[in-house]
Amino acid sequence: MQVDIRKLSLDDYDELVESMQEAYPDIEDNTWAKRNIQKLTSIFPEGQICITVNGKLVAAALSIIVQYELFGDNHTYEEITGKETFNTHSNNGNVLYGIEVFVHPEYRSLRLGRRLYDARKELCEILNLKSIVIGGRIPNYHAHSAELSPRQYITKVRKKEIYDPVLTFQLSNNFLPIKILKGYLAGDVESEEYAVLLQWNNIYYTQKKNTMKDAVIRLGLVQWQMRPFKDLQEFYQQVEFFVDAISDYESDFCVFPEFFNTPLLAAYNHLHEREAMQELAKMTDEIVNKIAEFAVSYNVNIVAGSMPVVEDGNLYNSSFLLHRDGKRDSFRKIHITPNERKYYGMKGGDELKVFDTDCGKVGILLCYDVEFPELSRLLADQGMKILFVPSLTDTQNGYIRVRACAAARAIENECYVAITGSVGNLPGVSNMDIQYSQAAVFTPSDFAFPSNAIKGEATPNTEMTLIMDVDLNLLKDLHHNGSVQILKDRRTDLYEVNLKR
């Protein structure tokens, strides 16, 4: 007999389904859809483990990583898995959460479940995660519920007076019961929708530097003065000045405005507007590389406003998220303004996603994008807690459009929204001559937040920084206990917002 343990792949799907059907014969909808397995093996391949016996897949364990403080001990299976979208997974999380373990009944005498759990524990240690947490079903409870409460049932299982195929196994693998969860898994008739929250602690865990500790995140917004620069080096000096200043306050993020490098267009003022912007785009890679160095050396995540990018002859407005661990992400403005189209012939991007950071999941929208509520709703559905909106507005009414829409996005999506733009004037650059901005951080509107739903705001049209703390735990509490619960109360039976690609 040959027993092998390895990572699960999408090619294993048919065998996975066959074994799951044998493992759960009495449960309706007892298999994962192929899209679920595709998503899991894509976002976290190491966490999807299977065992084969003589080449046949007979057991598997599926897991995600979560920032556990965002969910706490009182959660449901639907919440922790993001309604089985797994958008709750975060590579920068601190807990390995088990979402599935099964063994084909014909192979249960081989103690394969223990091998899966040993592999999970090893993975937890390798990834330096704090613990493994699971919501364990109690499938034999229905046979005792008439005479025993869930607490009494668990006590008898612990004393080995009652055998429960799931809980008995978890306890034998050194998992400790934390609490009883009611309504954990909808439709779990055997457990009467009860589950036991169980935890295994990694004794080798060391607190990760810069990871979310108490869920308080410090934001540093740069209200950028448009000024001439004689060369690129002078531009870098000004950028570094703000990064240094914001880093000194131990900020987690430093945010620059949209098109904050356009003073460098002055050298190309003799060219047509599009040609000038294409010349500026030639500097983007070098600028991004330099600011990425600042992110690492000053230990702060930088949202590098936006800069022009040329790809396949198309001109895009692109923002860059430069992580303090060296990782890089980017976002291309989706909705192009009439002026961007008229003067520069810019094209909109076609990708929308949240970004995993060491402070949780964040999103980026550029200026005009925030005026389209569908985008931020899709980001919220993917677990976004902070939305950054670098902007560039020339008039006060243009700014008010961005501001009012950003404030609305914070309320309707139960998240924080941070906006910042450029101020002053730039007479030597065509179409960039005047600017108006007032950086601000907006919150949801409920008792735990400021009564005007504004965490803080800068002085209008003055170069300065705005440094604010936001507490992600307040968002979690709002979601469960708010005066209104917007995300929960949506009539998804009547309408929905879908991302087509």
Give the pairing type, strands 253-255 and 176-182: unpaired
Edge-first strand order for the sheet with 416-420 is 355-357, 360-364, 386-390, 416-420, 440-442, 454-457
195, two tokens: 């589950």
Cα dihedral across residues 436, 338, 403, 442: positive or negative: negative
The C-alpha atoms of residue 231 and residue 474 are separated, in whole angstroms, by 45
The C-alpha atoms of residue 402 and residue 333 are separated, in whole angstroms, by 14
pTM: 0.80
* pLDDT tens sequence for the chain (501 residues): 799 999 999 999 999 999 999 988 877 777 899 999 999 999 999 999 999 999 999 999 999 999 898 888 989 999 999 989 999 999 888 999 999 999 999 998 889 999 999 999 999 999 999 999 999 999 999 999 999 999 999 999 999 999 999 999 999 999 999 999 999 988 888 899 999 999 999 999 987 654 544 578 999 999 999 999 989 999 999 999 999 999 999 999 999 999 999 999 988 988 999 999 999 999 999 999 999 999 999 999 999 999 999 999 999 999 999 999 999 999 999 999 999 999 999 999 999 999 999 898 999 999 999 999 999 999 999 999 999 999 999 999 999 999 999 999 999 999 999 999 999 888 877 777 789 999 999 999 999 999 999 999 999 999 999 999 999 989 988 988 899 999 989 998 899 898 887
> Which residues face 388 on adjacent strands?
364, 418
> Which residues face 218 on adjacent strands?
469
The C-alpha atoms of residue 289 and residue 311 are separated, in whole angstroms, by 18
Report the catalytic residues: 258, 333, 367
The C-alpha atoms of residue 469 and residue 447 are separated, in whole angstroms, by 17
- Residue closest to 359 by CA, chosen among 255, 284, 488: 255
339, two tokens: 């002026």
